[in-house]
Each structure stands twice: as structure tokens, then as C-alpha cells.
A and B are shown apart, each in its own frame.
Chain A
């Protein structure tokens, strides 16, 4: 797969050889259909606050946050080859930065949300210099330690509620129903930005460098790819996405406690979403988020049994169906709805670098 991904940096599909040799192009046959479907779904989602009941609006906000989290985690694991069980560091941090900006510094909450996401990106960038010293499984746990450190430090800050948590007051200027709707729209905007942004990133040169590094780091480096820098960009973007998700979680739940804001369960959720939906596909985490959201609505009250089943499902998906639902659909239909890789014109259009590692 590395041969495809790293074949050419030219997205226009220039001939790889001279004359009638094989052409390298992006498998975009169904691109515009996907785009139309995406636009219609977003338009329908935008109307939700007008048509749906209050309870549904809140539930759908949670779904949108799950999508942001899933897409972000998938960017790292699926395209950068970095499994992290510590992204809750930026989800929790996002919540607390938003709390501090809006409640303690009187920043308008929705402006604070944007600032929060950017600040989390900066923190992710800085922390990458520490955690990138580790590889593979040790990187995964290293990021978790960072999340634990953030959590333990937050617990010591009394102005943020310490270990027992606090709640966000800055949104109380809105009527409860208006607040629900506004937060929903903010979540929708964040989800769209995350999806479009990640898709755009992956189709750019950086995305090509990212998947090339994932597939064969030494090979990519030898072709001049700055693999560490590329991964750092991905990690920073993940920090931005998770920061936004954390801010949205606070705006939606209004309460925040370090033990759950920085809970490793959030990583478990992200992993389930991506594994169920399809690792290393654009549509996978969205499908996974919808499935996981439904499972959560139906079965979360069953407590331990629900998590036992989810854990077992994650093991099973990894071993039996590593491509998830999206991978299964692609295998059956031979359609890559959101192509990010390149492929030889003579091959199946689905065999680009977009599949999981």
C-alpha cells in the first residue's frame, strides 16, 4: 500500500511514466455523490432544533460530540498509525479551559469554545515533544500518563472546583431551550469542521506524507517525507478536535469533574467508535459514532454488562473484522466514498491508500 500512497505527490494525476504507462490518479469516481449526500445530511441535521423535541436535541448533540471524538482518534490511529489511550487529556483540558475562560475571565462562551480548541492544539503540540519519544504501545500509555498528570493537576486547582468538580455558569444568560439549540448548532459546526478539515488534511500533501509514514516510515523518510513533523501536525489537530469535544461536553452537560472529564473511558469510547465503524476510513468513525451512540442510549443503563460486551466487541472487531462496518461495505460494493489515497488507473478504484493499516 505504501507504493500507492507514496507514488507521487502530484494530486492532479500526472502520468507516472511517459507515454501510455500506468497513470496514477485519485479514485474519485463516487466523490460527488458522497458530497451531495454529506451536504443533504448536514442540511437536515441543521434543521433538527426546529423539528425535534428537547430530549432529542440533547441526544443528538452527544452524537455530534462522539463524531468529533471518533474522527479525531481515527486521524491518529487510522492515518498516522498512532494509537493513543490518552486523548482524554485534551477532552478534559478543553472542558476546563472553557470553564476558566467563560466563568473566570468573562469570555463569551461560544468565542471561548473556539479559543479552547486552539489552546488545546497548542498544548498537544508542546506535549508531542515529550510523548513522541515513545513508540507504539509505549506511546499509547505515555499519552495516558499525560492525561493523568492533567487530571491530578486540575484536582489541585480550587478555582476550577478541585477534585469534586463544578458547573458552568456562563451559559445561564440563555433560556434553557435556547441554550440546547445553540449548543447543538455549535456541535454541528464543530463536527462539520472536523470532518471537512480532516478530509482536506488527508487529501493534502501532509495527508499523503502521513499515510506514507504509517505504511513504511523508513521508506517515507528516504523519499524526503518529514515524518515526525507530519505526525506532530496530526497530533496537534487531534488536540484541537478533542479540545472542541471537551468544551462542547461541558456546554452540553454543564457539570465537570476531573475524574470523568479525564476518564480513560473516553478513550475506550473513541476506540469502540473507530473499531466498529472502520479504522482508517473517513466515513467509518461517523458510522461507528452512530452505532455507539445508539448502543449507549439503549444499553448504558445496564452498567457493567454493557461495558463487558463493548470490550469483547472491540477484541472481536480487531481480530475478525479489522476494517469495521465501513471496510465491510467497501469490500462488498467496491466503492470508496471519500477517497484520500492514490491508485493506479488500471486497478480497482478502491485499492488506494485509504484503507486501514
Chain B
């Protein structure tokens, strides 16, 4: 049920379907094995699952292993290359959503996507976009508020 949602997040982060498939598998195994550490009171299960998947994906992306495989780029370069590919963030399968989400303020959406779909921290996003941390936080909040209106 959640697999397509998780896969959507992972594939956007790593930009590679094959690797994303491996990571989705790894994520489910990790979710399964560390299920005891999930605390119902601390939040919804999907939030926990997506964070596990995102952390795994980001770790993979920044691991030595991955960088050696993809043309020996270092961290900075890989961040830039992800940024370069950002224009293809949304896959054709989710065109309808693209239109819906395009209703969000572009600035706010850019920040949220960087964090949610790219695995950036808000600090990295601030550096990337060259805006203050406070602005990043505000934009994230605005984006989510828009989403709330959109989906309700």
C-alpha cells in the first residue's frame, strides 16, 4: 500500500529506478526488523517509514560505494548533479499531481521538494538556494499549509 509512495520518494532522491528498487527492498527489511523501535505515540507510521526510506537513500547516495560507482563524484558534485536533474523531478506517471502541486507557490514547493524528495536537510537547502534558514523554515511551513488545503 505504502510501497508506491515510498518508491516515489526514493526514486526522486536517487534518480535511478534500479537502485531505487534495491533501496525500497532494503527499506522494507529495515522497517521490518526495527519495527519494535516505532513508537505509535510519536507519530503516524507512514512518517516513520518514509523517514527510514529517506535516510537509507541519502546514506546510499553519499556513501563511498555509490560515489565510486557514479563517476567518482564527491559530495558537492553529487549535490549539484542532483540539482541539475531537478527539472525532471516529477515523473510522467504523476502528471496530474504535477498540475495540482504546481498550484503551490514555486518558492515554497522548491524548498519542500529539496527536503522531502531530495533528502536535503533544511540547512543544506538554505545553502543550496542561498536563502536564510528562517526563510527556509517559513517556506516549508507555507508549502505544507498549501498541501493541507489542497488535499482537504
Q: Do chains A and B stick together as partners?
A: no
